[in-house]
Structure 1
Amino acid sequence: MLYHAHEMQRAWLNGASAWASIASEMLGNPANPMGYFGLGPTAASALEVFAHATQSRGKPEFGIDAVNAGGQPHAVIESIVLNKPFGDLLRFTHDGLDDSSPKVLIVAPMSGHYATLLRGTVERMLEHSEVYITDWADAKMVPMREGSFDLDDYIDYIIDFLEYIGPGANVIAVCQPSVPALAATAVMNAAKNPATPATLTMMGGPIDTRCSPTTVNDLAMERPIEWFRQTVIATVPMQYPGHGRRVYPGFMQLASFMSMNLGSHLMSHYEMFKHLTAGDDASADLTKAFYDEYRSVCDMTAEFYLQTVEEVFQKHSLPNGTFVHRGKAVDLGAIDQTALLAVEGERDDISGIGQTKAALDLATGLAKSKKQYLLAEGAGHYGIFNGSRWRTKIAPVVEEFIAKHARKSKAQLKQVA
């Protein structure tokens, strides 16, 4: 009933949003004298804020048309290079790159938002690298005939994507995927897989949530896994291709994120209202753009969500050495080829300080010279992969780290020969 109740509410809000938008446009029409005096401008602004806050949103586009590299603008080519039921591999490139440019796989979180949340991450790395990103599917859109998708499958997808990209690739895992990306790296190192990544950068990842636990970590520990199974898992209704699939709905995750900083979100909307009333559309549009992305959410499969909660946040399986992939224990000590960079935000309220850095200590078989740590001063969770700090302070460190530990691909070796 949870999903059906949401759909009924969404249908009602869609109608209310449409009417609010129409009323706002009418009040703001230059031909309407009420728009120039009294409560007209105030009412128009309030209706516009309400319409924007309640409208439905689908999957956003990356929309990266060009990047500046070497002082010149270059048109960006975006393409799907590998298609899988629960996620595609996207590739971004431009004519300013050559065979010597590093290949970077950005592993996006499967945590309720689309991969486009990392648009700023892709855009910045694309200046000097050929960028790939995991474009995870909305679980409610995947038919039941495609089977299940759990944490083991997530790790397999990362390995498959790296094998497609080929030797010498570099991985950047943002937040939640730091755990499966580290596990995949250990599996590939142990197997001497030719596609083992040269570097792995983990950004704000919950490797060991016992370090500086946050509200998110505490919530996961307060309840037994059966509570999550019975309370937040829903069945996809008939109108979607994935009807009958058990999922953790994106609207539940969004509600959780919004409630964590409700005061800040309310203030942001109040500021947007003030900007609109004052005629400062440019400032209002910045807030709108953020929430267009923030409110665009997708569902996760129940098995992936529950397994992540249990293994990562409750049992701490990876740091405890009990994490298993396909029935075989994952040995982080097997990582001896892939250089590791841990990036944390000083003000991160989702992954506390020390949680990502723990990976460096757990990789006991890796030389100290291949480990690096960066604490981004003043950066919150989103600030470590988006915004000015990411572009000017963090990304250059990541690029320098990749260059330092570069491993030549087959194409590059042929060039040298």
Structure 2
Amino acid sequence: MFYQLYELNHAMMAPWRAAADAMRLAYANPLNPFAHTYLGRAAAAGLEVFERTTRRYGKPEFGLAETIVDGTSVAVNERVVWRQPFCNLIHFERAVPKGRTSDPRVLIVAPMSGHYATLLRGTVEALLPQSDVYITDWIDARVVPLTEGTFDLDDYIEYVIEMLHFLGPDTHVIAVCQPAVPVLAAVALMEADNDPLSPSSMTLMGGPIDTRINPTSVNQLAEDKPITWFRDNVIMPVPFPQPGFMRPVYPGFLQLSGFMSMNLDRHMTATKEFFEHLVKNDGDAAEKHRDFYDEYMAVMDLTAEFYLQTVETVFMRHALPKGEMMHRGRPVDTTAIRKVALLTVEGENDDISGVGQTKAAQTICTNIPENMRMHYMQPDVGHYGVFNGSRFRREIAPRITAFQRQHARSAKPSLPRIIKGGKSA
């Protein structure tokens, strides 16, 4: 019933949000003399804070219309090239001159942990000038009808393998945060099969490979509670009239509440400063706040089976680093990885995936040659700074691109086919 009550409360607040927005526009209208007074600006600011605090944030857009390639601005076209019920694969097509030497083909596996793939907008933007970028666009579970079946961690791994097969040889895969475990598992399974389409390199960034190392508060919660607690307390059916009606999910708003509570004082301070910026007519600072929270507050539901299997496998049993992880009854053997280069990236101040948790991949992938592996820890960044921000653009992204170019298997990768409706075109 909790999810239904949340939806009901949101619906009941709709008229108040509409009224607040209308009053804000009236107070902010330059033709209104009151708008030029301190009280008028304060009233408009308070009404905007109320509206933003109580609204539901929709899925953001990537909005990457152009990039710089070889010093020249080129257009970027965002296109879905592969579809499945729970994920689309987006290609950022750059209008580069024909005959130009191909850049590394990069598959970015975005986190399926509450936020949309647009959280990695900065990651994509930093890599576009020197890479042919694809990204997983995971679909909100509450809009997927029950008739499409279930989606768990095993399905996630199979999606990654299918996408690598679709993209073809000499693809480089990047896993940001949560996907580090399923991507590593997918590569291990492909290598065990001597799959010729296994990626040329694998970059794991801020991921929970072994959460026994420097456990964070997020890791500790999973340690303190049995899996039945999560099943009984955070799994809820999608309410009517959503397309995924009655699908059991871990709601995005619960995940967001957890994120917010971890740094509640910081978010309250940010809201107070946003109000002050509005009153002072500091438009640039206010717009930065809007941009960040429009992304941060936009959340999606996860299927119950995926969430519970991930919590139990990754955070409770630590199955992958122990060598006990299974996929459809088959052991996931990380020692089978021999031909895929490995780069691990961590942030010194990461409070989600502690220092050493991602580097653990270097320890369990024992058969990757030393000249095909590298670890980098970025000083003075937290979890978000591992894949976004100025230090990522300046320090991390160039290292990723250089590593991929160093370990490319061919000079000119072939182009993938287009997949429509999950079938080869």
Q: So what's the TM-score if we normalise by structure 1?
A: 0.97
1:126 match: secondary structure: helix
1:349-360 maps to which residues of 2 (within 5 A)? 349-360=351-362
CA separation in 2, counterparts of 1:254 and 1:175? 16
Instruction: Report the CA distance shift for 1:44/1:126 in structure 2 as closer, same or farther (over 3 A).
Output: same
Instruction: Report the CA distance shift for 1:265/1:411 in structure 2 as closer, same or farther (over 3 A).
Output: closer
Matched length = 413
- Residue 77 of structure 2 corresponds to 77
Shift of 1:343: 0.3
CA separation in 2, counterparts of 1:120 and 1:79? 18
Conserved 8 A contact 2:102-2:412: no
- Residue 263 of structure 1 corresponds to 265
Q: Work out the percentage of aligned pairs sharing the same amino acid.
A: 52
Conserved 8 A contact 2:187-2:198: yes
1:189-338 maps to which residues of 2 (within 5 A)? 189-338=191-340
2:90 is equivalent to residue 90 of structure 1: yes
- Residue 420 of structure 2 corresponds to none
Shift of 1:372: 0.5
> What whole-Å deviation, never above 9, does each CA across 1:261-310 have from its counterpart, x for those lacking one?
01111111111111111111121011101100111111000000000000
Task: Please tell me the residue identity of whatever aligns with 1:70.
Answer: D
Conserved 8 A contact 1:100-1:412: no
> What whole-Å deviation, never above 9, does each CA across 1:185-208 have from its counterpart, x for those lacking one?
100111111110010000000000
Q: State which of 375, 383, 403 in structure 2 corresponds to 1:373.
A: 375
Conserved 8 A contact 2:110-2:117: yes
- Residue 39 of structure 1 corresponds to 39
- Residue 348 of structure 1 corresponds to 350
Conserved 8 A contact 1:167-1:410: no
Shift of 1:35: 2.2
- Residue 160 of structure 2 corresponds to 158
Conserved 8 A contact 1:125-1:395: yes
Task: Report which stretch shifted further, 30-39 or 195-204.
Answer: 30-39
2:13 is equivalent to residue 3 of structure 1: no
- Residue 188 of structure 2 corresponds to 186
- Residue 22 of structure 1 corresponds to 22
- Residue 167 of structure 1 corresponds to 169
1:51-62 maps to which residues of 2 (within 5 A)? 51-62=51-62
Task: Report which stretch shifted further, 326-335 or 61-70.
Answer: 61-70
Conserved 8 A contact 2:347-2:377: yes
CA separation in 1, counterparts of 2:96 and 2:354? 38
Shift of 1:26: 1.0
Conserved 8 A contact 1:172-1:202: yes
- Residue 423 of structure 2 corresponds to none
CA separation in 1, counterparts of 2:361 and 2:13? 44
- Residue 66 of structure 2 corresponds to 66
CA separation in 2, counterparts of 1:409 and 1:96? 17
CA separation in 2, counterparts of 1:321 and 1:352? 21
CA separation in 2, counterparts of 1:397 and 1:139? 35
> What whole-Å deviation, never above 9, does each CA across 1:150-196 have from its counterpart, x for those lacking one?
00000000000000000100001000000000000100111111110
Q: Which runs of 5+ in 1 are unaligned?
A: none
CA separation in 1, counterparts of 2:101 and 2:146? 41
Conserved 8 A contact 2:169-2:413: no
- Residue 407 of structure 1 corresponds to 409
CA separation in 1, counterparts of 2:296 and 2:39? 31
- Residue 147 of structure 1 corresponds to 149
CA separation in 2, counterparts of 1:265 and 1:124? 27
2:346 match: secondary structure: strand
Shift of 1:365: 1.2
Task: Please tell me the residue identity of whatever aligns with 2:84.
Answer: K
Shift of 1:96: 2.7
CA separation in 2, counterparts of 1:322 and 1:205? 18
Task: Please tell me the residue identity of whatever aligns with 1:84.
Answer: Q
Q: Which runs of 5+ in 2 are unaligned?
A: 416-425
2:129 match: secondary structure: coil
Shift of 1:238: 2.0
Shift of 1:53: 2.2
> What whole-Å deviation, never above 9, does each CA across 1:96-119 have from its counterpart, x for those lacking one?
374521100000000011111111
Conserved 8 A contact 2:124-2:133: yes
Shift of 1:44: 1.2
Shift of 1:9: 1.7
1:89 match: secondary structure: strand
Conserved 8 A contact 1:166-1:409: no
Q: Give the CA RMSD over aligned residues.
A: 1.4
CA separation in 1, counterparts of 2:318 and 2:399? 29
Shift of 1:33: 2.4
CA separation in 1, counterparts of 2:111 and 2:70? 30
1:39 match: secondary structure: helix
Conserved 8 A contact 1:154-1:180: yes
Conserved 8 A contact 1:140-1:236: yes
Shift of 1:410: 7.0
- Residue 421 of structure 2 corresponds to none
Shift of 1:411: 4.6
Q: So what's the TM-score if we normalise by structure 2?
A: 0.95
Instruction: Report the CA distance shift for 1:156/1:263 in structure 2 as closer, same or farther (over 3 A).
Output: same
Shift of 1:36: 2.7
